[in-house]
Amino acid sequence: MIPSPLRPYAGKRDSAEFSARTVGEALGHLTTEFGELRKHLFTEDGKLRSFVNVYVNDEDIRYLAKENTPTKDGDTISIIPSIAGGIPSIATTIPSVASAMRTKFCHSERSEESALCFVSDNGIGS
Protein backbone atom coordinates (compact mmCIF):
# COMPACT_ATOMS: atom_id res chain seq x y z
CA MET A 1 0.00 0.00 0.00
CA ILE A 2 1.43 3.36 -1.08
CA PRO A 3 0.31 6.41 0.93
CA SER A 4 -1.06 9.52 -0.78
CA PRO A 5 2.03 11.71 -0.23
CA LEU A 6 4.25 9.16 -2.01
CA ARG A 7 1.96 8.34 -4.94
CA PRO A 8 3.37 11.04 -7.23
CA TYR A 9 6.68 9.11 -7.07
CA ALA A 10 4.99 5.77 -7.77
CA GLY A 11 3.11 6.52 -10.97
CA LYS A 12 0.15 7.78 -8.90
CA ARG A 13 -0.58 4.20 -7.85
CA ASP A 14 -2.08 3.42 -4.46
CA SER A 15 -0.61 -0.07 -4.41
CA ALA A 16 1.72 -2.46 -6.18
CA GLU A 17 1.98 -6.24 -6.09
CA PHE A 18 5.22 -8.22 -5.96
CA SER A 19 6.37 -11.70 -5.05
CA ALA A 20 8.86 -11.31 -2.22
CA ARG A 21 10.22 -13.43 0.61
CA THR A 22 10.88 -10.45 2.91
CA VAL A 23 9.74 -6.87 3.43
CA GLY A 24 13.15 -5.65 2.25
CA GLU A 25 12.83 -7.61 -0.97
CA ALA A 26 9.34 -6.19 -1.57
CA LEU A 27 10.58 -2.63 -0.96
CA GLY A 28 13.48 -3.35 -3.31
CA HIS A 29 11.04 -4.39 -6.07
CA LEU A 30 8.94 -1.29 -5.40
CA THR A 31 11.88 1.11 -5.61
CA THR A 32 13.26 -0.64 -8.69
CA GLU A 33 9.94 -0.17 -10.48
CA PHE A 34 9.53 3.39 -9.16
CA GLY A 35 13.02 4.84 -8.87
CA GLU A 36 11.83 8.25 -7.64
CA LEU A 37 10.37 6.57 -4.58
CA ARG A 38 13.75 5.30 -3.36
CA LYS A 39 14.98 8.66 -2.02
CA HIS A 40 11.76 9.08 -0.03
CA LEU A 41 12.02 5.66 1.62
CA PHE A 42 15.76 5.08 2.00
CA THR A 43 18.81 7.06 3.07
CA GLU A 44 21.79 7.40 0.73
CA ASP A 45 23.44 4.45 2.45
CA GLY A 46 20.41 2.23 1.79
CA LYS A 47 18.77 2.24 5.22
CA LEU A 48 15.05 2.71 5.67
CA ARG A 49 14.47 6.31 6.74
CA SER A 50 13.59 6.71 10.42
CA PHE A 51 10.32 8.52 9.65
CA VAL A 52 9.05 5.75 7.37
CA ASN A 53 6.96 3.18 9.22
CA VAL A 54 6.32 -0.15 7.53
CA TYR A 55 3.68 -2.67 8.55
CA VAL A 56 2.97 -6.24 7.45
CA ASN A 57 -0.68 -7.07 8.00
CA ASP A 58 -0.95 -4.30 10.64
CA GLU A 59 2.22 -5.43 12.47
CA ASP A 60 5.00 -2.84 12.76
CA ILE A 61 8.19 -4.39 11.31
CA ARG A 62 10.29 -2.54 13.94
CA TYR A 63 8.93 -5.07 16.45
CA LEU A 64 9.39 -8.04 14.10
CA ALA A 65 12.54 -8.67 12.06
CA LYS A 66 12.58 -5.19 10.47
CA GLU A 67 13.35 -5.43 6.74
CA ASN A 68 14.09 -9.13 7.17
CA THR A 69 10.48 -9.76 8.22
CA PRO A 70 9.29 -12.71 6.14
CA THR A 71 6.31 -12.33 3.83
CA LYS A 72 3.97 -14.82 2.21
CA ASP A 73 1.33 -14.73 -0.50
CA GLY A 74 -1.55 -12.50 0.51
CA ASP A 75 0.39 -10.35 2.99
CA THR A 76 -0.16 -6.60 2.80
CA ILE A 77 2.79 -4.30 3.34
CA SER A 78 1.78 -0.75 4.22
CA ILE A 79 4.12 2.24 4.11
CA ILE A 80 3.16 4.95 6.58
CA PRO A 81 5.36 8.07 6.64
CA SER A 82 5.50 9.91 9.97
CA ILE A 83 4.38 13.51 9.99
CA ALA A 84 6.76 15.92 11.69
CA GLY A 85 5.85 19.17 13.36
CA GLY A 86 2.69 20.11 15.17
CA ILE A 87 0.11 22.75 15.86
CA PRO A 88 2.54 25.13 17.61
CA SER A 89 4.72 25.43 14.49
CA ILE A 90 1.71 25.83 12.22
CA ALA A 91 0.09 28.31 14.61
CA THR A 92 3.04 30.67 14.29
CA THR A 93 2.86 30.55 10.51
CA ILE A 94 -0.86 30.52 9.86
CA PRO A 95 -2.66 31.14 13.16
CA SER A 96 -6.19 31.50 11.79
CA VAL A 97 -6.00 28.19 9.95
CA ALA A 98 -4.46 26.41 12.94
CA SER A 99 -7.17 27.72 15.25
CA ALA A 100 -9.89 26.66 12.83
CA MET A 101 -8.39 23.19 12.46
CA ARG A 102 -8.07 22.76 16.21
CA THR A 103 -11.75 23.51 16.86
CA LYS A 104 -13.43 22.17 13.74
CA PHE A 105 -11.52 19.08 12.76
CA CYS A 106 -9.97 17.61 15.88
CA HIS A 107 -12.14 15.01 17.49
CA SER A 108 -9.91 12.71 19.46
CA GLU A 109 -7.56 12.72 22.42
CA ARG A 110 -4.74 13.29 19.92
CA SER A 111 -6.15 16.58 18.64
CA GLU A 112 -2.80 18.08 17.64
CA GLU A 113 -1.97 15.05 15.49
CA SER A 114 -5.48 15.03 14.00
CA ALA A 115 -5.22 18.69 13.07
CA LEU A 116 -1.78 18.20 11.60
CA CYS A 117 -2.98 15.29 9.48
CA PHE A 118 -5.86 17.35 8.16
CA VAL A 119 -3.62 20.29 7.43
CA SER A 120 -0.94 18.11 5.81
CA ASP A 121 -3.42 16.20 3.65
CA ASN A 122 -4.47 19.52 2.15
CA GLY A 123 -0.95 20.65 1.40
CA ILE A 124 -0.72 23.24 4.17
CA GLY A 125 2.10 23.11 6.67
CA SER A 126 5.17 20.94 6.74
pLDDT in tens, 68-102: 999 999 999 999 988 765 555 444 444 443 444 33
So what's the pLDDT on residue 82?
86
pLDDT at 123 over 60: no
Chain segment 33-72, per-residue pLDDT in tens: 999 999 999 999 999 999 999 999 999 999 999 999 999 9
- Between 1 and 91, residue with greater pLDDT: 1
So what's the pLDDT on residue 86?
53
With helix as H, strand as E and coil as C, how does 64-104 read?
Answer: CCHHHCECCCCCCEEEEECCCCCHHHHHHHCHHHHHHHHHH
DSSP lists the bridge partners of residue 22 as 70
pLDDT at 23 over 90: yes
So what's the pLDDT on residue 85?
58
Residue 122: pLDDT band by 50, 70, 90 thresholds?
A: very low
d(CA 52, CA 39): 11
So what's the pLDDT on residue 84?
63
